[in-house]
Amino acid sequence: MENEIKRIALASGAAGVGISSTDRLKGGVASMDPSYLLPGAESIVSVMLPLDGDIIRAYLGKKNHRALQDHETDVYVRLFNICNEIKSFLASRGFASVAVQPNLDYRFKDGKKYRRVPFVWRQKMTDWLSSQSGPAVSVLKKLLVKLSYEKTADYTDWNLVPSFSHRYGAVAAGLAGFGWSGNVMTSEYGARVLFDTVITRASLSSDPMMEDTPCDGCRLCIKVCQVGMVHAKKEDHVTLGGKEFTHGKKGHNLRCILCCAGFTGQDRYKGWSTWSPGRITLPETDEDIVGFWNRFVKDNLWKHNYYSRCISDLVFHSDYGFVNKPYDRFRTTCGNCQFICWETRELRMENYRILTEGGEVVEGPDFSFQPVHR
């Protein structure tokens, strides 16, 4: 059956496919546990597709944003379709299976508090709060946000725990090893790869795990992160299948979210930016980063500005998986730590040059953004 699964995956367009028993994923962090999505799961199948290098370089160099966003969405949809093919095959053999959403699928959505307020209401409310209005209505909106924000938004756990982490699945199934950034790397493409996973009750033989990580410790992933998400020296460890892996110690997830959701595109490093015109400065440490976020929302959600638009778009991101999200409410702005990290140091250094010499993005009319090349 393992050979047939791999044949189906490769025939459906996968660039890589690997299998792991769920034993390798036991005893770790919550997002490593496949039984959250499928109680009684015995195995996982990890599927990989690479991202196109030319499209990534046009994105890093501020030449073409749309191509990368379209491509990323297309690759995720293709991965999800491949996983559904595998799921159908397993179903035909009588095994319950789940094709996991490829991204933006978090566990807090199953919490009672989150489900208490319907998605549609949340979206309508944040859209209304951030819409244009006269002075009297703006005062009312400001008061409403001040009185109710933390009570109506504390369902969101910003320490996001995915329903299942495809990175752990890829490492367990022998397709990848950990990079210092915490992204996972393949020997062939570095970290410019995306994964999706099928979780199944079929008991399948595991593939061998990678012996060595393709990461050479160059730390360019640290130099392209405007918000200092990963520490350059402090380590963290993860054990999979009895083997210990090392990556850099990560900060609070809000740090990356505030950059990726567009609130800042230039914080630690000047002279270049992400694809975001946002310019807020994050706190140095994570001690009060949730408090910082709550104060920021209260100061901005009721205004009709770039930041209130980012907040209302973020509500959309957290409500949908990647495949189902409304396309016009989503903008890829960063991903630098992953996009920079190709298979050789020479290629990574060229990517770093392209990014840091590629200029900045500034706000254009009607919340659009425009690259400015020096």
Q: Which positions touch ligand SF4 (CB under 6 A)?
A: 179-181, 191, 215-221, 224-225, 227, 229, 256, 259-260, 334-337, 341, 348
Q: Which is nearer to ligand SF4, 300 or 351 (CB)?
A: 351
State the nearest-atom distance from the C-beta of 184 to ligand SF4, in Å. Answer: 9
Name residues whose C-beta falls within 8 Å of residue 354's C-beta, 6 or more positions apart in sequence: 57, 60, 61
Q: Which is nearer to ligand SF4, 83 or 310 (CB)?
A: 310
Q: Which residue is closest to ligand SF4 by CB? A: 179
Q: Which is nearer to ligand SF4, 200 or 274 (CB)?
A: 274
Residue linked to tokens 């630098």: 336
State the nearest-atom distance from the C-beta of 325 to ligand SF4, in Å. Answer: 17
State the nearest-atom distance from the C-beta of 323 to ligand SF4, in Å. Answer: 20
- How far apart CA 58 and CA 307 sit, in angstroms, is 26
Q: Which is nearer to ligand SF4, 189 or 316 (CB)?
A: 189
State the nearest-atom distance from the C-beta of 326 to ligand SF4, in Å. Answer: 21
- How far apart CA 132 and CA 211 sit, in angstroms, is 56
Name residues whose C-beta falls within 8 Å of residue 358's C-beta, 6 or more positions apart in sequence: 60, 61, 62, 63, 272, 371, 373
State the nearest-atom distance from the C-beta of 219 to ligand SF4, in Å. Answer: 5
Concatenate the DSSP letters of all residues of 227-242 into one string.
Answer: T--EEEEEEEEEEETT
Q: End-to-end alpha-carbon separation of the chain, Å?
A: 56
State the nearest-atom distance from the C-beta of 222 to ligand SF4, in Å. Answer: 7
Q: Which is nearer to ligand SF4, 138 or 356 (CB)?
A: 356
Name residues whose C-beta falls within 8 Å of residue 198's C-beta, 6 or more positions apart in sequence: 44, 45, 47, 83, 86, 87, 90, 97, 98, 99, 100
Q: Which is nearer to ligand SF4, 34 or 190 (CB)?
A: 190
- How far apart CA 360 and CA 164 sit, in angstroms, is 35
Q: How many CA atoms lie within 13 A of 126 on its CB side?
A: 27
Q: Which is nearer to ligand SF4, 181 or 308 (CB)?
A: 181
Concatenate the DSSP letters of all residues of 312-344 into one string.
Answer: HHHHHHHHS-TTTS-GGG------HHHHT--SS
Residue linked to tokens 């740090």: 255
- In DSSP terms, which residues pair with 97 in a beta bridge? 200
DSSP state, residue 291: H
Q: Which is nearer to ligand SF4, 311 or 341 (CB)?
A: 341
State the nearest-atom distance from the C-beta of 220 to ligand SF4, in Å. Answer: 4
Q: Burial of 270 by CB count in 10 Å (0-12 exposed, 13-18 middle, 19+ buried)?
A: exposed
State the nearest-atom distance from the C-beta of 191 to ligand SF4, in Å. Answer: 6
| Single-letter amino acid, residue 94 | G
Strands 230-240 and 243-250: antiparallel
Q: Which is nearer to ligand SF4, 275 or 302 (CB)?
A: 275
- How far apart CA 183 and CA 304 sit, in angstroms, is 36
State the nearest-atom distance from the C-beta of 319 to ligand SF4, in Å. Answer: 21
State the nearest-atom distance from the C-beta of 28 to ligand SF4, in Å. Answer: 20
Q: Which is nearer to ligand SF4, 130 or 351 (CB)?
A: 351
To 5 degrees, how large is the angle CA 242–CA 244–CA 249?
145
- How far apart CA 103 and CA 317 sit, in angstroms, is 10
